[in-house]
Structure 1
């Protein structure tokens, strides 16, 4: 039944080998979250942690639960869904097993932790493929349903997602890419300061690197049914959008919550525990829709005699197995001791795309803009502080030769880096500004989003306007005059493009950035339109690259075209994640792995290109000075 999973082995192995945190680990499957799939009547759970170890067919658990309704006789259905397949679907009449000890259900409070060995006759190992213990971000869940005998009323329904400890979301990747971005920033800043050449390619490659990280992170914001492994991979680059993993009760998030609620905000705060428990059940990692009472009727029943015979030896081995059998558990016990009820009609369900993404980082959907806004403020504050410190050093070094012109040159240099920081912040800020408008939550957040948009328009729009005006009223050649202050200040927009024919090409990536943000934020309700617009945009940008070839060197054209093709390819592959297409989970996971590999190769290429250009600019030409090479 699970043989179709075997072809995932190569992808899983490759990802684990490439992961910087790969280490020897005992194979296990455990519960990663737990929710009620129907309002509880008989069974109340406050802690539910279970782990299965295949090496010795043992189960370890930590459970806190209570049976609270008297004189209830039930049948129990245990249903397991892994990648849309259903390897286990058993229904037991609890009155016919264990000598009737569970008929009616005894009223008791149970809290305890223990481990037990399962009899070989159950054949659990034969039902679980080995790939399930090693593939990153396993997609599966177990559901326990207690149905009252005679009436057919559901007395308890509990779902627990399954995990194996492997994930494409790794702290080491976040720190590595973040550290690389900081190094690239400092190197580009130093090179541009010492070379005083606005056309130096190193600062442009720094912006390209951050833009690629943002592209990876934003590729998981569309309203698509992403496989869990790709969503986890994209979370590694969330910092490039201004979203950092945090605690739902952290100081920043708590402050934002208070501000929102005091200014008309009505959206929910970030939930405690894993966001996976609130994911729409049609999406990964659930890949099913067995939440509503009507949906439970589709579960098939099986004769319980076989399982009864298999459990009898276990009862002699472990006398308390009966009590442990009626509980499900949670790997991450809820802080408040409250297990949430999540059904098709629940208001707490997280829909595909941006809501799932930000809540996976413990940032509430309503907090997303304010979080990114505060991070952008910190980035600009750090950048201004560095520029101010640099100006102090500049004045001390050139104190004897300081002139008004030199002071003006440093001012233009500072303006150029403020423009670069604005270009970096533009995409994430636009996404969450537009998204905040769709939420209609908290007038203070909306006001700040409008002011932020005005600030971005001034910081980027004004230099763009003056560049186009100067080229039209005078001459495009004047834009590239080395001593011209406009080149020093607004060079980050156009200086990397061919003189003077394609100075205006900077408009293409700017328009593309705005349109991507518009599609992500305003087309969330229609995933088909969203991905169609995205693919069309990426195809147009690739075509423009191929037709115009705006860079002065073939290498520059090849590099920019490569990055554009990567974005187009990933957008095209994402079509398979359309919810309406209902592509099976395993093909979606394979496509997700392919997208991970494509973006991984792109990151390597961009990083290598940055260092090659950095080394090239640092090596002097024969007979030249530093920075002339």
Structure 2
């Protein structure tokens, strides 16, 4: 039975795998977005679909258009551009296809489709690798030229795709699920402020944010890198959804408060990309357009409104005001978020996150009250939980502030450069001040505490360690302030992204300087308590330096060809993917999974495990700093070294330091004591030799009144007898 089920699962997996890649295995190219490359004069196009099949070397097209002029004969010029190369550039006689239905152009809305076989000389030019690589950079351009006059009557561009992309929903959900798992385990381990996993959670989210922020610069990114970086847009609180209710609400709010920029749409944003950037990679994309600048703004609005009602086919040229520039506009528009809506999207997501956090903390506090009311658990444990919970909440609020610092600051700064809606600007100011207070106040408390005392107070004071430990607990006491340059560097990155958006070269150089400074600081100061943490932090910093250095090739002024630029994009995707896997592996090591593995795979006696546990406690006690931190920062554990309620003072005669220089008195006391015991009993006394025995005597009153324990008298007399023998040997 189990074998048959295994076969069924294998068959189902094979079928699903085949279904996913069957479309890509057809080796076809198809249009993914359509725009006008010149203002339509004669022909209004509602649909323009073109698909090339490598199997039979044919081009199929489906066109729906409407002619507004009568008796117009045109020829079609088809241009295909792939990575800046034009493998196809042919002219088609429209009178010879569709049985002459397009010659002259009919004065009504017509729809037609046909398939044309390309000659071997043309189809052989198309390389086979373009059907297998993700995020193809190419477009097809159809230009209708009037026969006899040579005037351009219509120009349509359509970007090409082979169905493969580095942006995958599976990647977004997987990374989000791993982050959620890390968050849950970190919540459990964070009762100890020195636990590693909460810091690895911040490292993981910061890694995702650094990949996403690196795609916000004014660079000519290959499409594959932007698609890869979009997998982590959620880390910046940018969530794409098929439901446009949130974006529609933001559009309405902006329209009512003075917003005049372009609203978000559900259509593909790649059609509005600047023609000098990927995936167009050519200035010839708009060269065949006629005199576009002479079109009046009124005519442009009229044409665009009629076209948007039909097919959302817009006019996009190098001189249009709706062209998307590199950086934030292309990044956010690709996930159907308007440039002017970017901050409000982050702001609303932050409000939702705060509501969720308040609910979770409220449930936790209600649980503590319920435990107190119904007497659930030991009394001391309930009291410790209740005392430690406020500090635990403050620590997680600080972590949340550090996570939201980059998204809020970057998009708040960028909102100030748009001059769009006054309400959006007001919200951006409020959000900026709120996040700065949430992050800077703990800094002030930590620095003030150190100035009043010394750095060690940060690790010995339970309140400071449990509340503000996320800032410094992973660092050495002498390097407690290492968190400052990290946050300052993030602040400067936000300034670079938002306010220096006109110079990609300046942005990437400043990014590189910041990353080099951070890595050198780690290598020289070694701030972490563990050497492995220094190695891990240095590894992440070196990866950021390498990626920033490679992205210099994306600067537009350098003019790197599309194919080498695309190859560098794939290299960056691989480097970032490997880095993510390394971080996830490190998280798995610190999440406690290896404990389950060791417990399941090894069986050691309980005595050995207890002895190992005891030895580990001894080692921790030898380290003064570690023992003090653990004892002060473990609010949920067993109380260590409790202070007795009654302190009985010691006898002054007993509480005396040992003086080895007076052996005479000791010898005398020992002799008298031995003589007294020999008259009474030898119970508890030291035998004179190892194998000699003395008959027991009846205890006397003096011995009966001796309240010292046998163990205590044995130790004292043994030491005194050794001193006596040592003095006789010296004599």
Task: Pick the TM interval, shorter chain.
Answer: 0.7 to 0.9
Report the CA distance shift for 1:260/1:349 in structure 2 as closer, same or farther (over 3 A): same
Contact 2:504/2:555 (CA < 8 Å) preserved in 1? yes
Shift of 1:127: 2.6
Deviates more, 1:610-619 or 1:204-213: 610-619
* 1:425 matches 2:404: yes
Report the CA distance shift for 1:399/1:446 in structure 2 as closer, same or farther (over 3 A): farther
Q: 2:589 aligns with which of 567, 591, 612?
A: 612
* 1:347 matches 2:330: no
Question: 1:475-517 deviations in whole A, cap 9, x for unaligned?
Answer: 1000011x5201111111111111x110000001101110111
Q: 2:173 aligns with which of 152, 170, 175?
A: 175
| Residues in 2 aligned to 1:131 and 1:403: alpha-carbon distance in whole angstroms | 66
Q: 1:222 aligns with which of 217, 222, 231?
A: 217
Q: 2:468 aligns with which of 490, 506, 514?
A: 490
| Residues in 2 aligned to 1:376 and 1:234: alpha-carbon distance in whole angstroms | 21
Matches within 5 A, 1:136-155: 136-155=134-153
Question: 1:209-263 deviations in whole A, cap 9, x for unaligned?
Answer: 011011111111111000001110000010010011124x611111111111111
Shift of 1:272: 3.3
User: What residue in structure 2 maps to residue 304 of structure 1?
Assistant: none
| Residues in 2 aligned to 1:142 and 1:124: alpha-carbon distance in whole angstroms | 15
Unaligned runs of 5+ in 2: 1-16, 292-306, 597-608, 618-633, 638-731
* 1:231 matches 2:226: yes
Contact 1:272/1:335 (CA < 8 Å) preserved in 2? no
User: What residue in structure 2 maps to residue 28 of structure 1?
Assistant: 28
Deviates more, 1:89-98 or 1:261-270: 89-98
| Residues in 1 aligned to 2:378 and 2:315: alpha-carbon distance in whole angstroms | 69
Shift of 1:617: 9.2
| Residues in 2 aligned to 1:119 and 1:524: alpha-carbon distance in whole angstroms | 46
Contact 1:46/1:334 (CA < 8 Å) preserved in 2? no
Which structure is richer in relative contact order (CA contacts within 8 A, separation 6 or more)?
Answer: 1
Report the CA distance shift for 1:375/1:275 in structure 2 as closer, same or farther (over 3 A): same
Shift of 1:53: 2.2
User: What residue in structure 2 maps to residue 416 of structure 1?
Assistant: 395
Report the CA distance shift for 1:97/1:503 in structure 2 as closer, same or farther (over 3 A): closer
Q: Secondary structure at the match of 1:502?
A: helix
Deviates more, 1:156-165 or 1:55-64: 55-64
| Residues in 2 aligned to 1:208 and 1:425: alpha-carbon distance in whole angstroms | 13
User: What residue in structure 1 maps to residue 425 of structure 2?
Assistant: 446
| Residues in 1 aligned to 2:118 and 2:408: alpha-carbon distance in whole angstroms | 57
| Residues in 2 aligned to 1:155 and 1:231: alpha-carbon distance in whole angstroms | 35
User: What residue in structure 2 maps to residue 160 of structure 1?
Assistant: 158
User: What residue in structure 1 maps to residue 525 of structure 2?
Assistant: 548
Report the CA distance shift for 1:45/1:122 in structure 2 as closer, same or farther (over 3 A): farther
User: What residue in structure 2 maps to residue 311 of structure 1?
Assistant: none
Contact 2:308/2:314 (CA < 8 Å) preserved in 1? no
Shift of 1:291: 4.4
| Residues in 1 aligned to 2:227 and 2:111: alpha-carbon distance in whole angstroms | 33
* 1:389 matches 2:363: yes
Q: Secondary structure at the match of 1:143?
A: strand
User: What residue in structure 2 maps to residue 327 of structure 1?
Assistant: none
Question: 1:582-624 deviations in whole A, cap 9, x for unaligned?
Answer: 1100000010011001100110011111110112796897347
User: What residue in structure 2 maps to residue 3 of structure 1?
Assistant: none
Q: 2:255 aligns with which of 261, 264, 268?
A: 261
Shift of 1:95: 7.3
Contact 2:152/2:289 (CA < 8 Å) preserved in 1? no
User: What residue in structure 2 maps to residue 580 of structure 1?
Assistant: 557
Contact 2:57/2:123 (CA < 8 Å) preserved in 1? yes
Shift of 1:121: 3.7
Q: Secondary structure at the match of 1:127?
A: coil
Contact 1:20/1:173 (CA < 8 Å) preserved in 2? no
Deviates more, 1:75-84 or 1:250-259: 75-84
User: What residue in structure 1 maps to residue 577 of structure 2?
Assistant: 600
Q: 2:446 aligns with which of 467, 470, 477?
A: 467
User: What residue in structure 2 maps to residue 456 of structure 1?
Assistant: 435
Contact 1:207/1:424 (CA < 8 Å) preserved in 2? yes
Deviates more, 1:613-622 or 1:558-567: 613-622
Report the CA distance shift for 1:150/1:124 in structure 2 as closer, same or farther (over 3 A): closer
Q: Secondary structure at the match of 1:580?
A: coil
Report the CA distance shift for 1:610/1:122 in structure 2 as closer, same or farther (over 3 A): same
Q: Which protein has the larger Cα radius of gyration, Structure 1 or Structure 2?
A: 2
| Residues in 1 aligned to 2:419 and 2:430: alpha-carbon distance in whole angstroms | 16
Unaligned runs of 5+ in 1: 1-18, 298-332
User: What residue in structure 2 maps to residue 480 of structure 1?
Assistant: 459
Contact 1:275/1:362 (CA < 8 Å) preserved in 2? yes
Alignment root-mean-square deviation, CA: 2.7
Normalising by structure 2, report the TM-score. 0.73
* 1:51 matches 2:68: no
Q: Secondary structure at the match of 2:21?
A: coil
| Residues in 2 aligned to 1:468 and 1:207: alpha-carbon distance in whole angstroms | 22
Normalising by structure 1, report the TM-score. 0.85
Question: 1:328-361 deviations in whole A, cap 9, x for unaligned?
Answer: xxxxx98842311101111111001110000001
Q: 2:613 aligns with which of 602, 618, 622?
A: 622
